[in-house]
Amino acid sequence: TMGNWLVNHWFSAAVLAAWLGINIFLFTYYFLFFDQDDRYFYTRAILGSALAWARASAKCLNFNSMLILLPVCRNLLSFLRGTCSCCRRTLRKQLDHNLTFHKLVAYTLALLTAVHTIAHLFNLERYNQSQQATDGSLPAVLSKMHLQSNKWLNLIHSNETTVEYVAFTTIPGLTGVIITLALILMVTSSTEFIRRNYFEVFWYTHHLFLVYFAGLVIHGIAGLVRGQTEQSMAEVHPHRCAQYLTQRDQNCTHDCCKDPEFGSIPAESWKWVLAPIILYVFERILRVWRAQQKVVVKKVVMHPARVLELQMQKKGFHMEVGQYIFVNCPAISPLEWHPFTLTSAPEEDFFSIHIRVAGDWTERLIDTFQLETPRIEVDGPFGTASEDVFQYEVAMLVGAGIGVTPFASILKSIWYKFQQGDQTLKTKKIYFYWLCRDTGAFAWFNDLLASLEQKMAESGKADFLTYRLFLTGWDTSIANNVALHFDTPTDTVTGLRQKTIFGRPMWNTEFAAVAAAHPRSVVGVFLCGPGALAKSLQKSCHQHSSLDPRKVKFYFNKENF
């Protein structure tokens, strides 16, 4: 299975290996540099190895801060997707791992921040001890140098200075505290639970990234960690002269009499993050410009279970199957943009989305549309994996709950391609599985399935689409109703010809049946649903794929929002 994964995800594996390799290289190189370089001989006399831990983690923090914005430049990703439309499907598909990479970099930043902060707490403690020491040791002598000149080495110049004082009054201390708080808030507010249920909390706290980058750029500007200057090294090299610092006569005559001089390490975070910040500014300008273009709401449909359907038109809007848009309603909040999967087909003269209540913003939007039609702004469309669905001879589509939305688009598009006798359609067979907790959620999708059933039967293609509806949450009244109408030609829950199945699918059975029906096909498995379901589908894909290249293969695709 590892071999399979590498074949399908070689690009992701290469990116991960390069990222990990660069992190390890930066950390090791700078750790050894600050641990052994003679310019920091005196700095190490006070700080010990905590200096190297702080500096090495700082380099990796800069590197990862440079990367964190790139995966969320969605227009950049769309552009890359477009330019590599001639590339292999596997390469394009891996651009969908952008959010996974974004999270990985974020967790790495959190870990490195912890290392960097702990190292500096040790450093401050050592600076403090050296400043207070009166034993004539090297750290003590070095700490008193600020009395003779401004070429100080120890940033603490008074016995009364505490670690807290340094943390909240110096630029590095204060920005460090602010950056760390911003990072903690961003990481904790971006959990799956908060994103799904309190999107606004996630959205607004995530904009603390502005504070993070501002703090990062200013953080090293004061240059509190210092090393010996090149000129001073030439005059009084520590290997030759360090011993004389602790045992110096009043009337000193040899060439080590002169005190060593120290200078700051120049701030360099800005060099790392400048290019991505500029790129991200362009990204945001492009988003604002795209959002200004007029959107006409053609039709508003209120479906059962409080699902709102909006049919819209916008000049120059071209979509692909399974793409999504970001929607903003200035009347509710001028700043908030929310992602929605398109439920229309590219062949239709409008684009549509279905919105259910999931947090304050969606609730307010649905309420607003019941009273009037407010102005809507749209950014997109943006691409995800479902565009590839027509490339497979056989497709297994799995939608859980509202996750059925990209498949509304796919099923409609296939129906249009059929009607038009499209020769580019490689798909010969579709298996569609919809898992849903309550019957109300089926309602808006029913019309589509019913009309598809009818159209395919009329055109003699009734066996092209096999679908199964699984009701995962149901009560006794539904069960009794089903028992009463068991022999009716249509289903009591949905009114469709295919019966609703109560409970969850047995994936092994489903995959085995598909593999038996298509022994030599490449099968694309598409999921829009929770992570736990993704794991079991991925497992089934591996288990049921044949090792023989001429036989059945299952490829797994997951929607990413």
Q: Which residues contact 123 (CB under 8 A, 6 or more apart)?
A: 47, 50, 51, 54, 225
CA-closest candidate to residue 52, choices 68, 70, 40: 40
The whole model's pTM is what? 0.81
Token readout for 95 is 């651009």
Domain residue spans of the chain: 2-145+268-287, 293-383, 386-558
Is residue 253 very low, low, confident or very high in pLDDT (cuts 50, 70, 90)? confident
What is the dihedral sign for C-alpha 503, 507, 511, 513? negative
Query: Which stretch of DSSP H or E encloses residue 399?
Result: strand 394-400
Report the mean per-residue pLDDT for the chain.
Answer: 86
CA-closest candidate to residue 239, choices 260, 254, 224: 260
Q: 326 forms bridges with which residues in the sheet?
A: 339, 379
Residue with tokens 């008193």: 144
Token readout for 66 is 């440079």
8 A C-beta contact, residue 552 and residue 518: yes
Q: 395 forms bridges with which residues in the sheet?
A: 430, 524
C-alpha to C-alpha distance for 22 and 130, rounded to whole angstroms = 35
C-alpha to C-alpha distance for 485 and 499, rounded to whole angstroms = 11
Output the CA–CA distances (angstroms, integers) from residue 174 to 121, 161, 169, 210, 221, in the order listed: 13, 15, 6, 16, 12
Mean pLDDT score, 261-267: 91
Domain 293-383 has CATH 1.25.40.10: no
> 358: exposed, middle or buried (C-beta count within 10 Å: 0-12, 13-18, 19+)?
middle
pLDDT (0 to 100) of residue 385 = 52
CA-closest candidate to residue 5, choices 92, 100, 99, 90: 90
Q: Does pLDDT of 166 surpass 60?
A: yes
C-alpha to C-alpha distance for 37 and 57, rounded to whole angstroms = 17
Output the CA–CA distances (angstroms, integers) from residue 109 to 67, 73, 116, 211, in the order listed: 10, 19, 10, 15
Main-chain phi, psi angles of 331, to 5 degrees: -65, -30
> 488: exposed, middle or buried (C-beta count within 10 Å: 0-12, 13-18, 19+)?
exposed
Q: Does pLDDT of 440 surpass 50?
A: yes
Is residue 486 very low, low, confident or very high in pLDDT (cuts 50, 70, 90)? very low
Mean pLDDT score, 279-283: 95
Q: Does pLDDT of 490 surpass 80?
A: no
Token readout for 136 is 């004539």
Q: Under DSSP, is residue 501 helix (H, G, I), strand (E, B) or coil? A: strand
C-alpha to C-alpha distance for 272 and 66, rounded to whole angstroms = 6
Q: 202-219 as b/e, with b when 16 or more CB fall inside 10 Å?
A: bbebeebbebbbebbbbb
Mean pLDDT score, 108-128: 96
Is residue 114 very low, low, confident or very high in pLDDT (cuts 50, 70, 90)? very high
CA-closest candidate to residue 341, choices 288, 398, 293, 383: 383
Per-residue pLDDT reduced to its tens digit, 463-479: 888 888 888 876 555 55
Q: 338 forms bridges with which residues in the sheet?
A: 327
Domain 386-558 has CATH 3.40.50.80: yes
Q: Does 386-558 match 293-383 at the fold level? A: no
C-alpha to C-alpha distance for 220 and 175, rounded to whole angstroms = 9
C-alpha to C-alpha distance for 325 and 382, rounded to whole angstroms = 6
Per-residue pLDDT reduced to its tens digit, 532-553: 898 999 999 999 998 888 889 9
